[in-house]
Amino acid sequence: MRIRDEIRLALGALLAIQVLTMIAAVALLARVTPAVDRILEENDKSIQAVEEMLLVLAEGHVGHDGQDEQDDREHRRARFDEALAIAQGNITEPSEEPVLAAIDELAPAAFADDHSAAVALREQLRSLVEINRASMHRANARAKRLGSAGAWSMVLLGLLDVAASLALMRRTRIKLIRPLYELGAVLQACREGDPHPRFSPGDASWEYREVAAVVNDLLSEHFEAVERDWERVAKLDRLALLRILDAMPGARFVCDRDGGVIAANTEGLRRLAADGGPELRASLRAACKHARASLRAAAGKRREGREQDEAAAKGAPEATLNDAAALNDAAAPNDAAALNDAAAPNDAVAGVDVQALDAGGSVYALAVS
């Protein structure tokens, strides 16, 4: 997948989850609000009707001065019937129907001044109020459950958003960020002269694979050119070495630490090709072996000398230490000269003069008389 597609995927997934969260929130509010409205519209109407009927009954006991009793009773009965019709038309619970039927039956007797009927009518009205109040509480509980479910839905969507964000961060790190660090490490190794590392993006985006092909080709071309330069320089160095050896009198050799011949002048090659060639090769190996042993012995002596000086200087005052350091500096011989002096094996192999070309004793120059 290309980088632009990776970015589009990451942003698109996050935006989709955010839009889903907003839609869920709107849907939750759209469901909770009608539930509350239903409570107010249905149950509140019934309670208002009951209040109106109770008010009509109460007015019957108080009476109205200056009005005809019959007209007042008919007027109150009309108001009662109107409120009862509202309650009958707004039945929200099955248990309301028998209560409303009982109210309808008891109303004529109650308005005819039947005391027991009036008491029973008030009890039925109280039951109707209790039924509607219980219905309101149940509707309120349903709205609360719906709100709680919506809240947990928001929590789950939030967790989904977090999980998707973490997954997309990990994907971005694998597809986009980590290959950049790997490319930087490969280029740094190339800068330090290491010819082996190559850029391998693996599961990275497609653009990185295209970049990897170009970068790896450039690295191969670069180190091939460097290798060709090294070979050319090595040839020139060898020609210079052979020219120097040919300018020297006698048989001259350059050997490795085991006495293997690396280079030789014309006289040396002639001596190696003669009948005494095997014996000469053995002498060269013996001389190099002795020189290497002498170098190790000299290095051990110098190390022991330093350890003795340090042990002797631990309890000495500062002035003595400074004097000892000055004496050691003055007495310290040239390292190369000391190595070559220690490595002279003339007493071991007659007729072969050895000189170490480095402090480690890996290359020797030998002269055969």
Cα–Cα–Cα angle for 195, 197, 202, rounded to 5 degrees: 155
Q: How far is CA 41 from CA 90, 136, 293, in A?
A: 9, 11, 111
SS (H, E, C) the chain: CCHHHHHHHHHHHHHHHHHHHHHHHHHHHHHHHHHHHHHHHHHHHHHHHHHHHHHHHHHHHHCCCCCCHHHHHHHHHHHHHHHHHHHHCCCCCCCHHHHHHHHHHHHHHHHCCCHHHHHHHHHHHHHHHHHHHHHHHHHHHHHHHHHHHHHHHHHHHHHHHHHHHHHHHHHHHHHHHHHHHHHHHHHHHHHCCCCCCCCCCCCCCHHHHHHHHHHHHHHHHHHHHHHHHHHHHHHHHHHHHHHHHHHCCCEEEEEECCCCEEEECHHHHHHHHCCCHHHHHHHHHHHHHHHHHHHHHHHHHHHHHHHHHHHHHCCCCHHHHHHHHHHHHHHCCCHHHHHHHHHCCCCCCCCEEEEECCCCCCEEEEEEC
CB within 8 Å of 193: residues ≥ 6 apart: none
Tell me, yes or no, if the pTM score tops 0.85: no
Q: What pLDDT, on the 0 to 100 scale, is given for residue 2?
A: 66
pLDDT of residue 337: 46
Residue 321's pLDDT is 42
C-alpha to C-alpha distance for 226 and 192, rounded to whole angstroms: 13
Q: For residue 263, list its beta bridge partners.
A: 254
Q: What is the pLDDT of residue 35?
A: 61
Q: Which two tokens stand for residue 361?
A: 């004793």
Q: Would you say 172 and 203 are in contact if contact means Cβ atoms under 8 Å apart?
A: no
Q: Set out the domains of the chain in order of their start, with CATH numbers.
A: 3-170 (1.20.1330), 234-368 (no CATH)
- Residue carrying the six token digits 């002797």: 312
10 Å Cβ neighbour count for 227?
11
Ordered per-residue pLDDT tens for the chain, 369 residues: 666 677 777 777 778 877 887 787 777 666 666 666 666 666 778 888 888 888 888 876 544 554 566 777 788 888 888 888 888 887 878 888 888 888 888 888 888 888 888 889 889 888 888 888 888 888 778 777 877 777 788 788 778 888 888 888 888 888 888 888 898 999 998 888 888 888 888 777 788 888 888 998 998 888 888 788 777 777 877 788 778 888 888 888 888 878 788 888 888 888 888 888 888 888 888 888 888 888 888 888 888 888 888 888 776 554 444 454 443 444 444 444 444 444 444 445 666 777 766 655 566 666 676
Ramachandran area for residue 259 (φ above 0: left; ψ -120 to 50: alpha; else beta)? left
- Alpha-carbon distance of 261 to 282, in angstroms, equals 11
Q: Is the CB of residue 288 less than 8 Å from the CB of residue 259? A: yes
Look-up of token digits 């020609």: 239
Q: Using alpha carbons only, what angle is made at residue 28 by residues 25 and 33, rounded to the nearest 5 degrees? A: 125
Of 4, 6, 26, 24, which Cα lies nearest the Cα of 16?
24
pLDDT at 19: 81
pLDDT (0 to 100) of residue 33: 64
